[in-house]
A and B are shown apart, each in its own frame.
Chain A
Amino acid sequence: DQQVKQNSPSLSVQEGRISILNCDYTNSMFDYFLWYKKYPAEGPTFLISISSIKDKNEDGRFTVFLNKSAKHLSLHIVPSQPGDSAVYFCAANPGGYQKVTFGTGTKLQVIP
């Protein structure tokens, strides 16, 4: 039972354009959401997060949007850069509990 789903295994975007990565979840107990970036042969690195009391959080070129009614979140990268090419994992955590459930990842390729 995949509680956090990333339905697009891969995405290609031209340098300078917007990258939009999507994530859906099924567990209504999730109230904290995170995005991690992973390069080959390295561990995932925390990128940005959002609490369920917000619908948007921004950090430089990265913005995460949360739509609780649709149980959907997205990560926007503007403008995309070749160094953003990596696998992006969506993750979710129920309040007061440390166990994080990860999606299966989306491989982003930014083409110069």
Chain B
Amino acid sequence: DAGVIQSPRHEVTEMGQEVTLRCKPISGHNSLFWYRQTMMRGLELLIYFNNNVPIDDSGMPEDRFSAKMPNASFSTLKIQPSEPRDSAVYFCASSLGFDRGGYQPQHFGDGTRLSIL
């Protein structure tokens, strides 16, 4: 089975440019998560969706960040305008959330390494 697919794997762009990260969750999963990993703060949850609806976006750092999930098989995280401090690895994860077996763990993609010059 295909896992969570993220694109691009690497992105290098100049400050001020718009950046769009993409994620395809595992088919059948109803929850999708966007994380950012940095040396200073570790793995931080930015936002998560349940059944395509944003549930908790309290981790989104500021208005320059936005996320959408137009359907069950696709999500984007957009940064506009980008700044050097946004440089990090961004992970997408999906899960079944809760089912009869209890809480189901998240499955992560391999991340997008973003560098803002």
Contacts and interface: CB of A to CB of B under 8 A. Distances in A.
Interface of A: 32, 34, 36, 41-46, 49, 51, 89, 93, 96, 98-105
B109 A103 contact: no
Contacts of B44: 102
Given A32-B103, A51-B102, A100-B106, A43 B93 contact: yes
Interface size band for B: 20 to 34
Contact of A49 (B48, B55, B105, B107): B105
Given A42-B110, A43-B110, A46-B107, A98 B91 contact: no
A98 B97 CA distance: 6
Given A102-B43, A105-B42, A46 B105 contact: yes
Given A32-B102, A44-B91, A102-B42, 8 more contacts: A34-B105, A41-B110, A43-B111, A45-B108, A49-B103, A49-B105, A98-B98, A99-B45
A100 B91 CA distance: 14
Contacts of B93: 43
Interface in B36-64: 42-45, 48, 50, 55-56
Interface of B: 4, 31, 33, 42-45, 48, 50, 55-56, 91, 93, 95, 97-98, 102-103, 105-111
A48 B109 CA distance: 18
B42 to A, nearest CB: 4
A100 B34 CA distance: 12
Contacts of B50: 98
A62 to B, nearest CB: 14
A44 B93 CA distance: 9
Across chains A and B, which 7 residue pairs bring their CB atoms closest together, nearest first? A43-B108, A104-B42, A46-B105, A102-B43, A44-B108, A43-B110, A32-B103
A89 B37 CA distance: 12
A65 B103 CA distance: 18
Contact of B4 (A43, A100, A101): A43
Given A43-B93, A44-B108, A45-B108, A100 B45 contact: yes
